[in-house]
Amino acid sequence: MPTNYLANLPADLLTRAAKIRLAAFDVDGTLTDGRLWYGEDGRETKVFHVHDGLGLKRLQANGVQVAIITARISHPVALRAEELDIAHVYQGQGDKRACLLQLLDALHLAPEQAAFTGDDLPDLPPMRTAGLAVAVANAHPWVAEAAHWQTTRSGGMGAVREVCDLILHAQGRSDAERERWR
């Protein structure tokens, strides 16, 4: 990951990211590289990037709630979410925007306090609702056009970590996090 991907960010992007209290993520193509793997027995497997996981844990440790909103239903997603202590996991969501709005209502948050990160067309409605819309580097062009920011890394390859780092940076928590790990 380039060391300067958080350098020289636009002020309006930092203002948006500073307000985030809920960071929601798509799975296939965002938390994973988008490929679907099936074993001979029909079981699905997925590959998640460890850097993304630590980023999500760091967000939660700093008071930002994390959610997974995905159209597909997958046991590996449930396992990964449990491992990362993600309480808000919504699988089988045909209308991701409606799911995001219901979650915001339940958490008593406004749309501008939410970020949504995605890669493909079903992610456009929640991205247009969220105060911070992020597209991964390999997102569909229409998704990239709708985003306030695009990561330098592709989905499943550390893109989610970049989003986590952006939010923590904008909220002034990067220096404390860095000291914590020294």
159 assigned to some structural domain: yes
Beta bridge partners of 150: 135
Q: What residue numbers bound the domain in which 83 lies?
A: 11-181
Q: Tell me the CATH number at 74.
A: 3.40.50.1000
Predicted confidence at residue 174, as pLDDT, reads 83
82 assigned to some structural domain: yes
118 assigned to some structural domain: yes
3-class DSSP state of 36: coil
* 69 CB-near residues (< 8 Å, 6+ apart): 24, 25, 26, 90, 93, 96, 99, 100, 103, 116, 126
157 assigned to some structural domain: yes
Q: What is the pLDDT along the chain (182 residues), one digit of tens a residue?
A: 445 778 899 999 999 999 999 999 999 999 999 998 898 998 989 999 999 999 999 999 999 999 999 999 999 999 999 999 999 999 999 999 999 999 999 999 999 999 999 999 999 999 999 999 999 999 999 999 999 999 999 999 999 999 999 999 999 998 787 788 78
Predicted confidence at residue 141, as pLDDT, reads 98
6 assigned to some structural domain: no
4 assigned to some structural domain: no
Residue with tokens 């993520």: 25
94 assigned to some structural domain: yes
Predicted confidence at residue 3, as pLDDT, reads 52
140 assigned to some structural domain: yes
| The total number of structural domains that make up the chain | 1
Q: Are strands 88-90 and 114-118 parallel, antiparallel or unpaired?
A: unpaired
CA–CA separation, 163 vs 157, rounded Å? 12
Predicted confidence at residue 1, as pLDDT, reads 43
CA–CA separation, 161 vs 65, rounded Å? 15
